[in-house]
Amino acid sequence: MINAIHQPQTILVLGGTSDIARAIVRELESPALQQVILACRRPSEADLGGFGDHSSVVAVEFDATDFENHTQFIDGVASKYGDLDIVIQAFGQLGTEARDDPASAARLASVNYGGAVSSGLAVAECLKKQGHGTLIVLSSVAGIRTRPSNFIYGSSKAGQDAFATGLGHALHGTGVNVMTVRPGFVRSSMTTGLDEAPFSVDPEDVAVAVAKGLQRGSDVVWVPGLLRMVFGLLRYAPGFVWRKLDS
């Protein structure tokens, strides 16, 4: 259980290879943290290093599209490792080539949105039974207004974002919190080789913002914070302006 100064004992990462999620775990490390569970498709290839000495780190098998077994998976993790204080939903695909391949586009949507819905509901039910816990959903500013050059990915993040914020409202009063994190371009293994966008950040920047958001009890966190104002304007920009910005 999270102690009086917001230090978790157990963290589950859905998408255990995510650079951002791993940075968040490192930022939240303290003597109180006892268990980190990295859930990913190939646990034998997961890097269990890079964390502090206070906690035990394990990798377990998880498939974002195995919808039928998400509830069983989450309940099984909680049964084995105890109450889940923080669950980070960090899996996803960028799929810049998906716009030219309908099947690939559908698979990307299945992972980024379908997986988010299925696993998110399973996590929510588990945390409700506990009476406490926080689900951190790694969304993206790409979902606030979809770019022509990557609208498949953007549309899937838009769905994930709407789901996460809606779920947070639905859980109000249960003791369970949902934090939706909206970073801009993050320099990570997922974006290696891509041109950086304005206001680019590192995984560690996202981690610091998330930790501050947890302290404040924030429902939504923008990284960097300036993007809240930027997209507050860009979402209403005329279409020809938006297309020009993406060219």
Q: Report the percentage of the chain scoring pLDDT > 90.
A: 72
From 81, 113, 153, 236, active-site residue: 153
Q: 153 an active-site residue? A: yes
Q: Are 231 and 144 in contact (CB under 8 A)?
A: yes
Q: Are 111 and 92 in contact (CB under 8 A)?
A: yes
- Give me the amino acid identity at 193: G
pLDDT value at position 190? 84
- Residue owning tokens 């966190």: 221
pLDDT band at 4 (very low <50, low <70, confident <90, very high): low
pLDDT digits (tens, 9 = 90+) for 51-106: 877 679 999 999 999 999 999 999 999 999 999 999 999 999 987 767 788 999 99
Residue ranges covered by each domain of the chain: 10-245
pLDDT value at position 192? 82
Residue among 34, 78, 76 at smallest CA distance from 56? 34
What value does the mean pLDDT of the chain take? 92
Residue among 38, 33, 34 at smallest CA distance from 7? 33
pLDDT value at position 5? 64
Please, what sign has the CA dihedral across residues 78, 82, 87, 90?
negative
Can you spell out the DSSP letters for 179-219?
Answer: EEEEE--B-SGGGTTSPPPTT-B-HHHHHHHHHHHHHHT-S
Report, at the CATH architecture level, how domain 10-245 is classified. Answer: 3-Layer(aba) Sandwich (3.40)
Q: Where are the alpha helices (DSSP H) in the chain?
A: 19-28, 70-81, 102-109, 115-130, 151-170, 203-216, 226-234, 239-245
